[in-house]
Structure 1
Amino acid sequence: MTTFIPTLTLPRAVFDHPASSILLPVSLGMAVGYLSSRSNQKQTYARVKNPPYSPPSFVFAPVWTVLYGVMGYAAYRAVSAGLSLSATSEQSDLARQGATLYTLQLALNLVWTPLFFVLRRPVEALVDIVALLGLNAYLAYTWGQVDRISGLLLLPYLGWLGFATYLCAGTGYLNGWDISDKAIEGEGKGKGKAKEQ
């Protein structure tokens, strides 16, 4: 069982209003995407070998925006329900523990893009996303005990994380776990486009 750790948890004010709870992950995700765009995410994605069923690069931004919004709303619902006057002490504890899990998973989520596209470290990115998937499965279970809808709202996120884990592992494997600038530059010098499916 997890513990509520105030220093590793977003402030309560973030969870008190649906707008702040939704806009925080959406804006953080957009900021990380924007700051990481200098690493030419689309170019890297197009040049590395991707596993079968890899979607076009334009799919990721809208999907993640929706998922960030839904996870933010789930956070608002779970914390509001768990810390309401009608909640049991067990629900309150689970809501607080879930708030810590949520904060940690959000940090892991935001670290993935820089790990993969900026630092070009697919092994570390895979470790990050596997941890993220496990943490969110536990979060869905925890918050589902406080507010069933909150737990259910995390299911699309879990599904996408499962798919993203497959994409990360597949891309790493197909590229020999090396997507560095050197490998990409070599492909541009007469080796042709590396994307094969």
Structure 2
Amino acid sequence: MSLHIPNLLLAIPRNPVTALGLPLALGFLSSSPSSKVANSNWYSNLVAPPGRPAREAFPFVWSLLYLSMGYASHVAVKSLDSAVLPANRDDLHTGIALYYGQLALNCLWSPIFFGTHSPGIALVDSVLLTGTTWYMTKLLDRPTNAKATYFLLPYCAWLGYATYLNAGTWWLNRSNRK
């Protein structure tokens, strides 16, 4: 059974500029308040798990990941436009729907973690985001001849790492809750 995706949500990634621009713009908007909090006492007093990179690395890494996921959405929609097999069409429709779902979960993480100072709730979001993205990548692999996978695997790997960082932060600071 194929999911119905509104035409606008298919038109956005059909154009490579808007495909790249949407996640980049949403990522920037959702994370912009976090830079102020990242310089706050609350954040600087958090105990971090081993392996946390410098704060300055995050905007660079996330910008590349947003561009990569955006291009993967373009590849998926272009594959949908030419897909003949019903199974491929179904996987592409579901994968594109999951793309928008993971994008929403991604945009929620910064406001939850930084805005509400809730690493535990952010961890739930991160686990859901990671699982959704891995499943989306699996669904898009065959019908895109692995093209989408090449762009999504770095994102999947980073989400696993980010979930580790979030889980470690939550665990190490669980006794410091408000």
Q: Same fold (TM over 0.5)?
A: yes
For structure 1, the residue ranges without an aligned partner over 5 or more in a row are: 181-197
Q: Which residue of 2 aligns with 1:90?
A: 87
Q: Does the aligned pair in 1 maintain the 2:2–2:89 contact within 8 Å?
A: no
SS in 2 for 1:53: coil
Q: Which residue of 2 aligns with 1:150?
A: 148
1:104 to 1:3, Cα distance in 2 relative to 1, 3 A: farther
Residues in 1 aligned to 2:176 and 2:70: alpha-carbon distance in whole angstroms: 34
Q: CA RMSD in A?
A: 2.0
Return the match for 1:101 from 90, 95, 98: 98
5 Å-filtered alignment, 1:61-76, equals 61-76=59-74
Q: Which residue of 1 aligns with 2:174?
A: 176
1:141 to 1:151, Cα distance in 2 relative to 1, 3 A: same
- In the TM superposition, what is the alpha-carbon distance from 1:45 to its structure 2 partner? 3.5
Return the match for 1:125 from 103, 118, 122: 122
Larger gyration radius, structure 1 or structure 2: 1
Q: Is 1:110 aligned to 2:114, yes or no?
A: no
For structure 2, the residue ranges without an aligned partner over 5 or more in a row are: none
Q: TM-score, normalised by structure 1?
A: 0.82
Q: TM-score, normalised by structure 2?
A: 0.91
Q: Does the aligned pair in 2 maintain the 1:121–1:178 contact within 8 Å?
A: no
Residues in 1 aligned to 2:91 and 2:75: alpha-carbon distance in whole angstroms: 13
- In the TM superposition, what is the alpha-carbon distance from 1:21 to its structure 2 partner? 0.5
Residues in 2 aligned to 1:122 and 1:92: alpha-carbon distance in whole angstroms: 38
Residues in 1 aligned to 2:75 and 2:175: alpha-carbon distance in whole angstroms: 40
- In the TM superposition, what is the alpha-carbon distance from 1:90 to its structure 2 partner? 2.0
Return the match for 1:134 from 117, 126, 131: 131
Residues in 1 aligned to 2:110 and 2:177: alpha-carbon distance in whole angstroms: 13
Q: Which residue of 1 aligns with 2:5?
A: 6
Q: Which residue of 1 aligns with 2:160?
A: 162
Q: Does the aligned pair in 2 maintain the 1:45–1:57 contact within 8 Å?
A: no
Residues in 2 aligned to 1:114 and 1:177: alpha-carbon distance in whole angstroms: 22
Q: What is the letter of the counterpart of residue 41 of structure 1?
A: A
Aligned length, in residue pairs:
176
Q: Is 1:47 aligned to 2:8, yes or no?
A: no
Q: What is the letter of the counterpart of residue 32 of structure 2?
A: Y
